[in-house]
Amino acid sequence: MTRKSRASPGHDNAKVMNRFDLTRRLVARLKSDEAVIGGIGNTNFDLWAAGQRPQNFYMLGSMGLAVPIALGVALAQPKRRVVAIEGDGSLLMQLGCLTTVAHLAPRNLSIVVMDNGIYQITGSQPTATAGVADIVALARGAGIAKSAWAADEAEFERLVEEAVSESGPTLIAARIDDKPATATTERDPVRIRERFMQGLGVR
């Protein structure tokens, strides 16, 4: 298969980074009580490993719904910053949600996509982003104008700082390696949900 060029050149210039390292950098840059929704699998696992904040929500299924869940939290609590961390395969499963986010344009919502071009947890089969599909171009096409590839760790941190302080919605995409997650989450859905609601001040 001939490799065609991508819609946005930012991908090809971006450094391949590490998900756990980036997740730790992200969590370290949160200012206080931002809600963080982790997507299914490794994205979630590294969020868990980066420190278990009560404002974190961990999915145990429902692949593709991290961004919709984050959107719901953002609508319910417009004064709270909300971040969804999602994998490329998961986002591809629910691409339409980017158009819903763009249409509603919640100022307090940011999306971080960890893109390694593989369905890592199921055996590393290639996703469409391993070919010519470009997450940032897709997000811009959906109408999320503030969408960017993080060229390296320093730029990732700068984009996260912007995301949690300036007006959204925003999307940050990062190329990551195929290293496995560093831990796994607990598996008690009611406990996860109850602690999250306490973290959001609802309980």
Partner 1 sequence: MTETKDGPPVKTWHGIAIAALKRNAVRLATYVPDRVLTPLISALHADPEFTTFATTREEEAVGILAGAWMGGMRGALLMQTSGFATLPNALASLAVPYQIPLLLFVSERGTLGEFNWGQALVCKTMRPVLDALAMEHHTITRLDELDFIVDRSIKQAFATQASVAFILSPLLTGGKTFGA
- In 3D space, the residue among 139, 150, 146, 82 whose CA is nearest the CA of residue 114 turns out to be 150
Is 141 a residue that touches partner 1 (CB under 8 A)?
A: no
Binding mask 75-94 toward partner 1 (x if CB under 8 A, else -) reads xxx--x-------------x
Minimum distance from residue 78 beta carbon to partner 1 (Å): 10
* Interior/surface letters 176-201, b for 16+ CB within 10 angstroms, e for the rest: beeeebbeebeeeeeebeebbeebbe
On whether the CB atoms of residues 163 and 25 are closer than 8 A, the answer is no
- In 3D space, the residue among 134, 67, 137, 135 whose CA is nearest the CA of residue 101 turns out to be 67
Minimum distance from residue 106 beta carbon to partner 1 (Å): 11
Q: Count other Cβ atoms within 10 Å, centred on residue 125.
A: 10
Q: Out of 51, 96, 131, 180, point to the residue binding partner 1 (CB under 8 A).
A: 96
Comparing CB distances to partner 1, the nearer of 9 and 203 is 203
Is 182 a residue that touches partner 1 (CB under 8 A)?
A: no
Is 60 a residue that touches partner 1 (CB under 8 A)?
A: yes
- In 3D space, the residue among 139, 120, 122 whose CA is nearest the CA of residue 130 turns out to be 120
Minimum distance from residue 192 beta carbon to partner 1 (Å): 7
Q: Out of 22, 50, 59, 171, point to the residue binding partner 1 (CB under 8 A).
A: 59
Is 69 a residue that touches partner 1 (CB under 8 A)?
A: yes
Report how far residue 110's alpha carbon sits from residue 169's, in angstroms, rounded to the nearest whole number: 5
Is 67 a residue that touches partner 1 (CB under 8 A)?
A: yes
- In 3D space, the residue among 37, 174, 51, 197 whose CA is nearest the CA of residue 117 turns out to be 174
Is 193 a residue that touches partner 1 (CB under 8 A)?
A: yes
Q: Which residues bind partner 1 (CB under 8 A)?
A: 35, 37, 57, 59-77, 80, 94, 96-97, 99-100, 103-104, 189-190, 192-193, 196-197, 200, 202
